[in-house]
Structure 1
Amino acid sequence: MNVANRRPIARLLAIAGLLVTVVALLIAPAGPASAHAVLVSSSPIASAVVSNAPAEVVLTFSESVRKVPGKIRVIAPDGSRADRGEPTFEGTVVTVPVDPAGARGTYLVSYRVISADSHPVSGAFTYSVGAPSTPPVDSGDDSRADPVVGNAVKVAKYAGYVGLLLLVGSALVLAALWPRRLPRRGPARLAWAGLGLLAVSTVANLLLQVPYTAGGGVLDVTGQGLSDVLGSAFGAAHLVRLGLLAAAAFLLRPLMAGPVERSDLVILGVLGAAALVTWPLAGHPAASPAPAVSVVVDAVHLGGMAVWLGGLVLLAVFLLPRADERELGAILPIWSRWAALAVSVLLLAGTVQALIEVATPRALVDTFYGRLVLGKIALFVLVIAVAAYSRQLVRRRTAAGRPTSMRRAVWAELAITAVVLGLSAVLVQTTPARTAGADVAGSTPRYFSTTLSSPNYSLQIELDPAERGNNTVHFYAYTKDNRPQPVVEWRATAALPAAGIEPIQVPLLPLTDNHATGEINFPAAGEWQLRITVRTSDIDQATVTATVPIR
């Protein structure tokens, strides 16, 4: 087999390898949280033991949330529903009325809501009234995320990115760089393919948003669900995008046939810029701590990507193989300057995005989102190196004639950036690092809880946050049959023998007959000995001891 015959096969194998890599990135697990708001606090606190049944459960999220009908439940210890009436939504706070005469034992709170950036937030936690019991199961919870839907959303977003760069690259090159002697049929077909792919992706995102937010399979698209999606900011952004694409199609047709008036190009540019804004308005940036800055930066970042990669595709597929030496001598220096500007925009906008979404250096390594950002940066550095090599070839004019070296460098840029696009598609579906660490329902509780037994009573201990510094402790006393045990006197000390710290008296304040609270300051980490003496009558008292790990 000669070299000419082997070349198409090699390209097909390279493309197949890229597709496998991208698909692997798209279906890679994003950890337990796939949403972008998190539950930052609750009342009652997750896993807490309260003396009396509350009249309401309050959930506080990191950003404003919207209701998914019927997806917030409070399950009583016997498996029945303890919530009463519809929950109320006020920005970041959701209030769920519950039965104040509920039974003693452990309750399960399960929820699914829609965050401000259009992604579903789901989770569950427990609290106990009186004393813990076997946690109930929410047998009516049918809102679990379907992995097929989640992966379909990522594929649809990736397809949208590909359509955008094909459309922008084709339009840009035809408007400013295309030699007059060459036919426009190839780039025109690529532009229409990009427009079609972008439109299909937008419609697919709208339809998939219904089961994605409410839970269910790919075909679980209801009229009410679709109406809710279309009435949201996410739906409005996608409808606007479709309208802008339809308007742009009328101006693209004459551009595909030949040079057009400057005024038409200006209008086409305005439509393109407006369409770019619809991406951040339907995602993370709209719910960031600085939404105005994030929306602009994300749109600029997306535009820089489309110009750079779209131009590379046209350069690799059409200009390098077809343009002659004189034409390439005029085209490549211009393209080199455009590419350098687009890359500079990408770097600046990406830096601002990272500062907003990652927030802290530690989050870069401690969160899945941060590690994806690091991976994207590493690949971006690699592709910048390849791009610099390409620019060097342009300056040396070795791309003249048969630009084999230039063509290889461009294909290398495209190969690496295809993977970067895959990482981007995963990033937009992943909880930002700025909120990932705040999820009280999806992370290990930052407090200590235990139950101790004595001949006279059982004692429930809750210590928060079980770290060096100030801590709050709660004591609950119960009889052997799990009823509140009246206490005459409470005494408690804390010591760290391994560090030579003698017992420290803990001031306690009785809140009810069987409940007392106090403040403890732990000056050092270690295995602290907490010693509690409870007197239940004039002659009956007992002392229990707990070992508390302090971080």
Structure 2
Amino acid sequence: MIGAAFAASLTLVTFAGPAAAHARLISTDPAGGATLDEAPESVRLTFSEAIETTFAGVQVFGPDRQRVESGEARVDGERVIVPLIDDLPGGRYTAVFRIISADGHPVRSQFRFTYDAPAPEPTETVAADPTESPGATEAAATETPSVTPTNEPDADVVFELQDAGPGTAVGLWVARLLNYTALTALAGMMVTALYLLPAGFGADHRRWVRRAAWAAGLWAVSALALFTFGLSSVAARPLPEAVNADLVTRFLETRFGLTVLTQTVLAAVCAVLAVMARTRTMAVAVAGLAAVAAAAIPWWGHAGTDELTAVALASALSHIVAVATWVGGLVMLIVLLRHSNADAGTSAQRFSRLAGIAFTVVVLTGVVNAALHMGAVANLWDTTWGRLVVGKLIAIAVIGAFAWRNRNSLLPRIAASGGAGRSAFRRLAAAEIGVMAVAFGLAAGLASGIPADAEAASRIQSVVSQFGDGQINVTVDPAEVGGNLVHLYFLASDGTQREVEEPSLTFTGGGETLDAELLVAGPGHYTVLSQQFPSAGEYEMRVSADVEGQAVSTTATIVVR
């Protein structure tokens, strides 16, 4: 069964198409590395999905390293627009940006473009007026020199992007892990009170619900910690500097901030209701409210930004509830078998049925969740997120093997004999819980990380540049040392592909010029199947072609990692 589930996982991931899950930069205007004949009026960035309107920052630095924006950045859906001042001098410009995607992840980077400003026309010589002083006549007759700022000093300048520091990243991971752990403890205690214990709602049942109040309280505290560290990450300021009224108010305008705070409140209400619960109906209400609060996790995460939002949310919530029920129930069953006088056989039988259902749901929904954000099977080993998924799949397979042994050997013995085999079950269950802890850590990394499809897409260098009366569009994938796939499109003024004569593509960097071997892939479309880059760094890309009898060329800069 485990082998079949693992094979099904790989099959579904293999045939899954790309899905939007994390904002990534698609294009810029001006294009990165482009050389412009006219001064741009603004800088525009287009992302793969809508981004948060707050905390969107774009700074543009001129050749003298001074900022040249004339106003604040404006967010319009998936676009960010920042206006520039008039009369820009010629030279190289660097645009630095940091935005917040809808799932709460900061996205930051920088790109450069060059403005090739025309030289000022010389001042005409004016005949001297006898009434003017000689100094004035000499000044009028002098030509204004052409001043072209050099690009060399900027070539090696790295503009630092503001960051909250490593403490915030660690705090976010720990807060997420505690959030999952507290939810799991709460689920296990409620499952014990409402399902594993014998029928009714006596003193033992109420005792377990009161214990659940402590778990709900820890859940609320962990959610508040997640809110605090999330604020620090989004605002790019370390704690406690990030905690001020203005930043908190702006953070609450983001989906992540509002959803996490909502979970904090709901978890606190669960704790209060659990303390007050005296009947089974109230206990069921606590469990139901906890399930609603758990829905915040997929909503603030990757599932809430997916194109198939309903499917992603339903799958992610089912996965979370199944894992919490399974793991929490197992831990509490160990406690019952060790300390409780309850009917061990009945509890073991009930948990066996529950664990079988939960494991099936975990495997199926885990595959769906990974497939929605994997993009391609190669991303399983080519991306950090993909490798975390593989690690989690292995952990689930090991857990499934332990669960199979428990369900088919030890639990039937306990149920049949009223308690025999408890020690062996506890030892195997302890090992199962240890592997589950590893899986929880991997899950926290998946929730905090960039999904595989977004990570893979962010590696692609894309350049759009003016080419005669049209444009060229060049992509270099993955823009790393070694072999790269290059696509070159020649576009007419109306955006359609057009045929050209004698196209050529070269990359110059590291003291050598690399000639690309262009293969025709269609009208106006050429590819390079394996463009080799021997070293990392900046490369000047030159594209030349004969367009309707006119020789046209353009240059741009790409960065190879």
For the criterion TM > 0.5, the same-fold answer is yes
- Cα shift at 1:401: 3.1
Report SS of the residue matched to 1:65. Answer: coil
Paired residues in the alignment total 452
Q: Is residue 91–residue 114 contact of structure 2 (8 Å, CA) maintained in 1?
A: yes
Instruction: Determine which of 75, 91, 106 is the counterpart of 1:105.
Output: 91
- The amino acid that maps onto 2:475 is P
CA distance in 1, matches of 2:530, 2:429: 56
Report SS of the residue matched to 1:428. Answer: helix
Mapped pair 1:197 → 2:218: yes
Residue 42 (structure 1) aligns with? 28
Report SS of the residue matched to 1:465. Answer: strand
Residue 53 (structure 1) aligns with? 39
Report SS of the residue matched to 2:376. Answer: coil
Higher relative contact order (CA 8 A, sep 6+): 2
Residue 239 (structure 2) aligns with? 218
Residue 9 (structure 2) aligns with? none
Q: Deviations over 1:104-139 (max 9, x none)?
A: 221111111111112211111111222954437889
Residue 359 (structure 1) aligns with? 375
- The amino acid that maps onto 1:359 is G
Q: Is residue 333–residue 394 contact of structure 1 (8 Å, CA) maintained in 2?
A: no
Instruction: Determine which of 395, 398, 402 is the counterpart of 1:382.
Output: 398
CA distance in 2, matches of 1:397, 1:50: 78
Instruction: Determine which of 70, 79, 83 is the counterpart of 1:93.
Output: 79
Residue 430 (structure 1) aligns with? 449
Instruction: Determine which of 89, 99, 122 is the counterpart of 2:108.
Output: 122
Instruction: Determine which of 518, 522, 526 is the counterpart of 1:521.
Output: 526
Q: Is residue 44–residue 57 contact of structure 1 (8 Å, CA) maintained in 2?
A: yes
- The amino acid that maps onto 1:240 is T
Change (3 A) 1:92 1:531: closer
Q: Is residue 388–residue 446 contact of structure 2 (8 Å, CA) maintained in 1?
A: yes
CA distance in 2, matches of 1:222, 1:138: 33
CA distance in 1, matches of 2:103, 2:431: 34
Once the two structures are superposed, the pairs formed by residues 124-139 of structure 1 within 5 Å of their partners are 124-130=110-116, 133-135=152-154
Residue 316 (structure 2) aligns with? 298
Q: Is residue 336–residue 394 contact of structure 1 (8 Å, CA) maintained in 2?
A: no
Residue 325 (structure 2) aligns with? 307
Once the two structures are superposed, the pairs formed by residues 8-407 of structure 1 within 5 Å of their partners are 36-69=22-55, 71-130=57-116, 133-135=152-154, 143-178=162-197, 187=208, 190-220=211-241, 221-253=243-275, 255=277, 260-261=279-280, 263-316=281-334, 318-323=335-340, 327-394=343-410, 396-397=412-413, 400-401=419-420, 403-407=422-426
Q: Is residue 337–residue 422 contact of structure 2 (8 Å, CA) maintained in 1?
A: yes
CA distance in 1, matches of 2:248, 2:157: 26
- Cα shift at 1:42: 0.9
- Cα shift at 1:40: 1.6
- Cα shift at 1:396: 4.1
Mapped pair 1:411 → 2:430: yes
Judge which range, 419-428 or 347-356, deviates more.
Answer: 347-356
Change (3 A) 1:410 1:59: same
- Cα shift at 1:470: 4.5
Q: Is residue 56–residue 98 contact of structure 1 (8 Å, CA) maintained in 2?
A: yes
- Cα shift at 1:391: 0.6
CA distance in 2, matches of 1:282, 1:523: 40
CA distance in 2, matches of 1:113, 1:523: 33
Q: Is residue 206–residue 235 contact of structure 1 (8 Å, CA) maintained in 2?
A: yes
Q: Deviations over 1:399-427 (max 9, x none)?
A: 73351111111101110000111111111
Once the two structures are superposed, the pairs formed by residues 471-482 of structure 1 within 5 Å of their partners are 471-472=489-490
CA distance in 1, matches of 2:381, 2:343: 48
CA distance in 1, matches of 2:359, 2:403: 9
Residue 538 (structure 2) aligns with? none
Q: Deviations over 1:41-85 (max 9, x none)?
A: 111121222222211111011221124558310000111111111
CA distance in 2, matches of 1:359, 1:468: 20
- Cα shift at 1:86: 1.4
User: What are structure 2's unaligned runs of at least 5 residues?
Assistant: 1-20, 117-149, 466-471, 477-484, 493-499, 507-514, 533-540
Change (3 A) 1:70 1:343: closer
Report SS of the residue matched to 2:461. Answer: coil
Q: Is residue 220–residue 268 contact of structure 2 (8 Å, CA) maintained in 1?
A: no
TM-score, structure 2 length as denominator? 0.72
Q: Is residue 54–residue 254 contact of structure 2 (8 Å, CA) maintained in 1?
A: no
Mapped pair 1:464 → 2:474: yes
Change (3 A) 1:267 1:491: closer
Residue 453 (structure 1) aligns with? none
Identity %: 27
CA distance in 2, matches of 1:216, 1:468: 39
Residue 477 (structure 1) aligns with? none
Report SS of the residue matched to 1:397. Answer: helix
CA distance in 2, matches of 1:333, 1:164: 24
RMSD (CA atoms): 3.9
- Cα shift at 1:379: 0.8
- The amino acid that maps onto 1:88 is R
TM-score, structure 1 length as denominator? 0.73
Residue 8 (structure 2) aligns with? none
Report SS of the residue matched to 2:295. Answer: helix
Report SS of the residue matched to 2:32. Answer: coil
CA distance in 2, matches of 1:285, 1:532: 44
Q: Is residue 289–residue 356 contact of structure 1 (8 Å, CA) maintained in 2?
A: no
